[in-house]
Structure 1
Amino acid sequence: MADPAPLASLSVTHVYYDPDDPLSLFCAYLALVPQALCVVYATLIFSTREAEIALTFAGQLACEVLNFGLKRLIKEERPARIHGKGYGMPSSHAQFVAFWSVSVALFLLVRHTPRPPPSKARPAESSHRSWSAAERAALSAAAAVVATLTAWSRIYLNYHTTRQVLVGAGAGALIAVAWFAATGLLRRTGWLAWALENPLARMLRARDLIIEEDMAQAGWEKWEERRRASVDGKSRKTK
């Protein structure tokens, strides 16, 4: 009986690390951060239908396309002790997480303008509050720490040189700022509002609430209304 055809390995998440070095293993997990963020993007877009998240993800994909082009234009090799295929300049991981962390900071600190609760809100409603500026700054800092560790892990695992990581991080940050400005222009000129009135966007229930509201608030208010109606109905029955 002839031997079966040799099997190939799906190497999307195939990361080399030193099994005797716990820090190397930690860096190997950090290498999966971009894939995890893509899952988070897709989940949030599907569950919230928020235009801001979809636009940020579109910018993230555009950033990846640009990295693909830059690598083939510069054609700089990876470190001598190579653990990956393809060119190394700039680091795609560093560019990816830099775009993500800068986009998070720009949204939380610049674009997000939470509305104050209505003055006639009931106690249960007024107990909810939006994140303070300090809390949003802390979240932005946490995203920056994750991005920094992920970028550094590429150097520790010998996938990239320090220069390749720094250039990738710089490119990602610059693209994030440019994309933030471009999406802001879409808002100011009314193109985003026009797109959300498109029949396809309405069929997909796309919306643009996250700028002024957090994602949990609308659902919480609906739940509170239903809960109060249920409690009021039970109290009327007992009377």
Structure 2
Amino acid sequence: MGVLSDPIYRPLSITFIEYQEGDKIGFFLAWFSMLPFIYIVSLCTLILFRRDIQTIMYFGGFCVSEVCNTVLKRTFKQARPERTRDRMGLYEVHGMPSDHAQTFFYFMTYLAIFVILKSQMPGTPRIRSMRNRFLVVAQLITATIVAYSRVYLHYHTVLQVVVGAFVGTGLGCVWYYFVNYHFMKYVPFIIEQPLAKFFLIRDYTPIPRIIHFQYESEYAEAKRWRERRANYSKDQTSASQ
């Protein structure tokens, strides 16, 4: 038995992103190419701690996007760009449309619409308008860089990322409309169900300026418990004297 007879090990392809050694732009874009994974992990963490049904449905749209991407890839069966060496075993052979581009444009489109229509940030209307425009433009630029990184790193063709971007944008619009104009009307019924209560599912949609509300509520509750603990300590000290 020798090294040549050892089992073959492969990296987990979902996070294995390569760039040419010494290419600083490639290194920079490889990190941008990781943003969809970072975003998904952050979103799952947010769901775990907030249990907000709007956030859960936001993630649900990503799951729908993944199903659509798989179906489209198997339908088109278009190969990825040719490589200087065989790396096709590291990821799925089909590349139309780009999953990275589709996923991130879905995330950014849904979030951009949410920011424009339901932003509850403090400030004057002019300040809120400027802030919303900045956030939307920043999201568009970030999504474009993510899509471009897939072309630069030779994982997809230009056409594949453009199609992915259009599919993701369209899905973001359709899913936002479905969630906020059809699904949300059933939320009061859903959150009253025993299973939803068991998993602490909640709906923050009716609460204006939710961050400010949470801060005030949690600050008042923490203050109340500190005072109760201080009074309890005083009673214990008095009783021991």
TM-score (norm 2): 0.81
Q: Quick check: 1:95–1:170 contact (8 Å CA) kept in 2?
A: yes
Task: Provide the residue aligned with 2:69 in structure 1.
Answer: 67
Q: What is the Cα deviation at residue 227 of structure 1?
A: 6.0
Amino acid in the other structure paired with 2:112 = A
List per-residue Cα deviations over 1:113-164 (Å, max 9, x = no partner).
Answer: 5398xxxxxxxxxx9xxx8233233222222221111001011111111111
Q: Quick check: 1:79–1:160 contact (8 Å CA) kept in 2?
A: yes
Q: What is the Cα deviation at residue 185 of structure 1?
A: 2.9
Change (3 A) 1:158 1:208: same
Change (3 A) 1:102 1:211: farther
**How far apart are the structure 2 equivalents of 1:134 and 1:233?**
45
Q: What is the Cα deviation at residue 217 of structure 1?
A: 2.7
Amino acid in the other structure paired with 2:22 = D
Q: Quick check: 1:94–1:172 contact (8 Å CA) kept in 2?
A: yes
Task: Provide the residue aligned with 1:102 in structure 2.
Answer: 109
Task: Provide the residue aligned with 1:122 in structure 2.
Answer: none
Task: Provide the residue aligned with 1:20 in structure 2.
Answer: 22
1:173 aligned onto 2:173:
no
**How far apart are the structure 2 equivalents of 1:80 and 1:69?**
23
Alignment partner of 2:13: what SS? coil
Unaligned runs of 5+ in 2: 235-241
Q: Quick check: 2:105–2:143 contact (8 Å CA) kept in 1?
A: yes
Matches within 5 A, 1:56-205: 56-81=58-83, 84=88, 85-110=92-117, 112=118, 114=120, 132-187=128-183, 190-205=185-200
Q: Quick check: 1:114–1:211 contact (8 Å CA) kept in 2?
A: no
List per-residue Cα deviations over 1:180-220 (Å, max 9, x = no partner).
Answer: 111123346x3222212211111212111156445533431
TM-score (norm 1): 0.81
Alignment partner of 1:133: what SS? helix
Q: What is the Cα deviation at residue 78 of structure 1?
A: 1.2
**How far apart are the structure 1 equivalents of 2:220 and 2:149?**
48
Change (3 A) 1:215 1:150: farther
**How far apart are the structure 1 equivalents of 2:67 and 2:147?**
18
Give the percent of matched residue pairs that are identical in Structure 1 and Structure 2: 29
1:223 aligned onto 2:230:
no
Report the aligned-residue RMSD: 2.8
Paired residue total: 221
Task: Provide the residue aligned with 1:124 in structure 2.
Answer: none
